[in-house]
């Protein structure tokens, strides 16, 4: 992983390489889960334009619907936002999700083609495999299928979301043996509260091999930003620690205030201190929220990475509760 150092941590300039892929992603990446469908279209388009103008180039745009699920159109809305904002394709990187539940005889191709159709793109710069919940899959089949999609120009690089360290190591070993690209990035829940997996020894061995980190859910579904009673859908709760996180919010908010920062800025800034981090993923539903989140980078420069990690140590809620090996 290489970071440009002309202006450390400034989102307007910072670029870090995703693994060894040659793809340089912005320090921050913008998610789409339960965001654009809750916004005025004009506001969403203006926010997208501002994000790109501030240097954000990586956008996580998944198909968050399927058989038996409610319809979702955030990816389709994003496609319209890109057109309305007048963005060129070389101004942004598409990160798409591929779901293992739909992997069958035709591999990932059907769902990838559908995802690209919905978002109006000819290729995905990055695809991230969803949670590994099936025990009937041969990991070698996944690796070789992704290699074919890479050779055909449909994807440029791939990674995984919330996989165990052991499973990722097997992917790396298979790819090495086959002489094809392996996973370049691991998308993991990473916050001041939930850090045992990305900070643990099993993943440290993967970071040493060149795997890079995309931090996700750094605000714990908005809880760390003070939205304790919000109606936004939030993700799983490994270790059943969410109530502990909620209980910590007043003290965490006070710490942020003592640093002249918002709780969200402090939560985001913490993720930037991880040595393997390439990009931190967050959602925003207003330009004001986007601007505030991007300004979190300045907090690392002002306080220092080591001091930030020391200050937030008391809020590590999953310490000795969650296995650092991962799911």
Average pLDDT, the chain: 92
Domain assignment present for residue 313? The answer is: no
* Domain membership of residue 116 as a residue range: 15-220+271-304
Q: What is the pLDDT averaged over residues 52-71?
A: 87
The yes-or-no verdict on residue 1 having pLDDT over 70 is no
The yes-or-no verdict on residue 64 having pLDDT over 90 is no
Residue 25: CATH number of its domain: 3.20.20.100
CB 112 within 8 Å of CB 149: yes
Domain assignment present for residue 77? The answer is: yes
Give residue 14's pLDDT: 78
Give residue 195's pLDDT: 97
Give residue 259's pLDDT: 98
Domain assignment present for residue 191? The answer is: yes
The yes-or-no verdict on residue 133 having pLDDT over 60 is yes
| Percent of the chain whose pLDDT exceeds 70 | 93
Domain assignment present for residue 153? The answer is: yes
Domain assignment present for residue 259? The answer is: no
Domain assignment present for residue 254? The answer is: no
Domain assignment present for residue 204? The answer is: yes
Q: How many CA atoms lie within 13 A of 231 on its CB side?
A: 1
Its pTM stands at 0.92
The yes-or-no verdict on residue 12 having pLDDT over 80 is no
> Could you give the number of structural domains in the chain?
1
Domain assignment present for residue 84? The answer is: yes
């Amino acid at each position: 992983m290489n970071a440009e150092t002309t202006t450390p941590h400034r989102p307007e300039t910072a670029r870090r390489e995703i693994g060894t892929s040659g793809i340089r992603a912005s320090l921050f990446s913008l998610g789409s889960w339960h965001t654009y469908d809750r916004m005025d279209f004009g506001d969403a388009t203006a926010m997208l334009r501002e994000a790109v103008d501030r240097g954000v180039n990586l956008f996580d745009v998944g198909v968050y619907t399927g058989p038996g699920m409610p319809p979702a159109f955030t990816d389709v809305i994003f496609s319209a936002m890109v057109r309305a904002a007048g963005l060129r394709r070389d101004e942004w990187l598409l990160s798409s999700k591929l779901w293992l539940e739909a992997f069958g005889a035709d591999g990932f191709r059907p769902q990838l083609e559908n995802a690209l159709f919905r978002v109006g793109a000819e290729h995905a710069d990055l695809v991230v495999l969803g949670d590994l919940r099936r025990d009937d899959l041969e990991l070698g089949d996944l690796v070789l299928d992704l290699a074919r999609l890479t050779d055909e120009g449909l994807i440029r690089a791939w990674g995984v979301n919330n996989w165990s360290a052991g499973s990722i190591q097997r992917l790396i070993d298979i790819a090495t043996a086959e002489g094809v690209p392996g996973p370049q990035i691991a998308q993991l829940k990473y916050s001041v509260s939930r850090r045992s997996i990305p900070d643990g020894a099993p993943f440290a061995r993967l970071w040493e091999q060149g795997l890079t980190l995309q931090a996700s859910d750094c605000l714990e579904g908005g809880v760390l930003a003070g939205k304790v009673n919000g109606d936004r859908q939030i993700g799983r709760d490994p270790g059943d620690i969410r109530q502990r996180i909620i209980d910590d919010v007043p003290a965490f908010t006070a710490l942020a205030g003592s640093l002249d920062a918002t709780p969200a800025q402090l939560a985001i800034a913490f993720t930037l201190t991880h040595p393997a981090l390439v990009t931190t993923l967050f959602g925003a539903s207003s330009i004001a929220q986007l601007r505030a989140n991007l300004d979190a980078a300045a907090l690392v420069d002002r306080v220092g990475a080591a001091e930030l990690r020391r200050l937030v140590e008391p809020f590590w809620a999953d310490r000795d509760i969650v296995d650092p090996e991962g799911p």
